[in-house]
Structure 1
Amino acid sequence: MMLILVALLVGFLPLTWSRAVAPTISIDAQPQIDRNLTENLHQLTKRVPYAESITKGRRLDCLMSATIDRARQLNGNRQLESQIEEWEILISDFEDEEDEGWRELQLAEGENPKYYSSGMPANLNELTGANFESTHYFYHANVRDGRVDGQPVIVSTSETALKHNSVLTRKQLTRAEFANGMNGEGGVIIADKNTSPRASIGQVPPFPISRIKQWSDAAFGQWELAASGVDAPVNSLRFIIRSWITNEETQNQIIEALGRVGHSTLPNFANRQTFSRSSQNQDEVDGFYALLGTPNGAGSAFLLATHKGKLGVKRISSAQVWNHGFPNVALTSWRDPWKLNMMFTIENVDNPAD
């Protein structure tokens, strides 16, 4: 009996171990514009290996730094450059063939964007040289029935109805929303409150919802609207700020990166940590690519990688990280009160890879 129990235990151990180890993940840099970036580059477990995030960041860097043709080659010879006019999709206010259901909403009276609580009004000028008062809040939400390529988006009320092609209704509103601060005069995007259509409905639908699928699509459309509103060139984008980061994966990589350069507590604004691609400190360089490989970093990189025709060939050169609020917050502390911010500085690529 004892031998049988031992044999059973030994036979069970590989199953237990395989469940405890994170699955191997393909890191092919082949994001498709018809799927959410987080699905393509970030099918990740809750605790992603640091080295894996570095690899993702380096591959995103290659996509940003390449010409349109070269980026397509790196993308498995699939089109990477955006083929839509995002701003036109966002501002369509009439129920016509081009209306995908997006409307610009307004905050309630007396309500401020979330980034007000993470120190942006006081800190934006020191960070970027931009006047905070010139920041306009764009808030677009998917709140109407829409059409994609002229066809109404429909969803079945039940699996049974879908199978029998009956009792079909027009699309259930996704309530997806993209709300961001745009400073056209200063060349700054402040990411604020964003939920993609797919994330909003919690599934991958078997039908198109909108050509605006992810943050990079919506943010670029809003940026183009903001720049044109102040007669600023579209290619004048200089900074992307990810305000009040709550994404657990991004938080994990920030903690790892800070720890590797000697931090035991979160740096505050005055002592914010810079991770640069050109640093002489390898831990800072690794930290730069690791942060670029996070969901928040990848979205910013993807915006640059997919809009070269209007932005020119640009890449992220550095990332600054800080926490707004109480000082001396331990990296291992309870995260709910954290107000982590990360700012990406953008530079032109003078000799893009072709």
Structure 2
Amino acid sequence: MNVDLFDFELPEELIAQTPLAERTASRLLMLNKQSGAIEHGAFIDLSSKLHAGDVLVLNDTRVIPARLLGMKQDTGAKIELLLLKQLEDDRWEVLAKPAKRMKIGTVVDFGDNGSGEPLLRATVEEEGEMGARIVRFSYEGIFNELLDQLGEMPLPPYIKERLDEKERYQTVYSKHEGSAAAPTAGLHFTEAFLAELEAKGVELAYITLHVGLGTFRPMSSETVEEHEMHAEYYEISEETAKILQRARDEKRRIIAVGTTSARTLETIGQRFGDEPLQSCNGWTSIFIYPGYTFQLVSGLLTNFHLPKSTLVMLVSALAGREHIMQAYEEAIGKKYRFFSFGDAMFIY
């Protein structure tokens, strides 16, 4: 299957640069995955599409201030590191820029402790592809506190505006630190709107998937089948496993909030098959594209994605490529806002 099947023209002015003042103020395109019927409304209209007994699955990962700006110890050249994945102890997988200056053994310093010594130091131990490096950090004190002091929020490259309020790139239910990017479909929710859905009888369940390198990597192959996804860490609690198992047994709808939740649900669906779902953790590199048979997900709330991206392929697997391309064409025509701070789509 050719990647170009998932291409479309997107005017640059439709890429949302800043979040709306109110989280729930975005627009909502509602797509019936069977018929392809499209409705347009406001995000709060999601309430009318959810029913008592539906399970809404949210990713409670929290973005860390993962972008570090430092200097090479030997030359003073500026280096940017984006933390992607903690491996063990103080070893991390990072994206380095400019990567060509980051050979094995290179040392990069961050901050100043007031005595001319860095607050944080990174030494390159391994080189990977497309700017990836394995570095070991050395420091005194608590790593996360140093990150809060030195790091910046790692906004996607298509967002040029500065984000003044860091919490607007976190969901209101974010809990477990570890992501290099936000699960952006969840940014639309407020605590009040979630409480309103619960009062209606919608059941909330939380999973964790730490968003990593795959979010920043474009498709590098010409065919869909050749693409390899980067592994990301996930966790499912015992409470969530029981909620999902009851919903599956009773044939109630399981609605994923965001593609990260969808990928996690489908990972455990494949992991346990027809056996009872259990609490678990691990790494997933699941790649969902048309032809895939969904195990658990029956509906999806998501934002609008990049042309030719793995995320457009995932939503096309759920609703059909033709329905998705038609919906995107209509969204562009009606000037919906795209990507991380943009509007939402509900596939049901």
Q: Same fold (TM over 0.5)?
A: no
TM bucket (normalised to shorter chain) is: under 0.3
Structure 1 or 2: more helix by fraction: 1
The TM-score normalised by the length of structure 2 is: 0.25
Higher relative contact order (CA 8 A, sep 6+): 2
Higher Cα Rg, which structure: 1
Structure 1 or 2: more strand by fraction: 2
The TM-score normalised by the length of structure 1 is: 0.25
